[in-house]
Structure 1
């Protein structure tokens, strides 16, 4: 079993960042088969497995903007970021990926994207692995 964390810095309120390599780097060298779970330790950001293609990333951002209006939510009376919480709730805070032969078993076009919904900020991602060694 292994555990690691890393930071993600964002430069926009709603944006995506490919974090696949940083998650892969957290897989211990001696883990042959198992699972890797990455978890965002925040309520206004999330993780999704998707293709890392710039136009698709823009489409994801547009989809979330269209799905959840920027204004008009009760929580906005508190800190004016209800849209960020709702968008992150749609995305979800975690992904779990199989580990096979010591590597993340992602499909050909799959990457792990960090989805920032309330930036710019510096965020923490926690990565936990479990499984069998070689």
Structure 2
């Protein structure tokens, strides 16, 4: 199992972590198996989507802001970050990616993103690689 940290700079941001995850897969030596990417935080998430066109990520961020606004009079959580918890719960804190020939089986345009919803902070990413050497 490997871990790395990501420092975020804004309340809501998306950080492409694909290269770091690929490095953990390479270090594992696994040729065929699965890679679990997990963020142990209740106000962060991990997802896979297009990494080639930054407009896609901007569109995702803008839509999340509209769907789950920071200010909502119905929130009751005392810390004031209910929106971050809701966003994380909906997107999820882990992803599983197949590995073949030592490579992540991501689609041509796919990248792995850490989603920050309560930053700026330092976030831990856990990568567990399981399979055959």
Mapped to 2, the partners of 1:45 and 1:60 lie a distance apart of: 15
May I ask how many residue pairs the two structures share in their alignment? 129
Segments ≥4 residues shifted beyond 6 Å: none
Residue 11 of structure 1 aligns to a residue whose secondary structure is coil
- 1:90 is aligned to 90
Structure 2 spans left out of the alignment, 5+ residues: none
TM-score with structure 2 length normalisation?
0.94
Spell out the pairing of 1:60-71 with structure 2 (5 A cutoff): 60-71=60-71
Cα offset for 1:29? 4.8
- Say if 2:28 and 2:129, in contact at 8 Å, map to a contact too: no
Mapped to 1, the partners of 2:7 and 2:54 lie a distance apart of: 18
- Say if 1:29 and 1:102, in contact at 8 Å, map to a contact too: no
Structure 1 spans left out of the alignment, 5+ residues: none
Mapped to 1, the partners of 2:92 and 2:63 lie a distance apart of: 15
- 1:74 is aligned to 76
- Say if 1:38 and 1:94, in contact at 8 Å, map to a contact too: yes
Mapped to 1, the partners of 2:121 and 2:97 lie a distance apart of: 26
**RMSD value over aligned CA atoms?**
0.9
TM-score with structure 1 length normalisation?
0.93
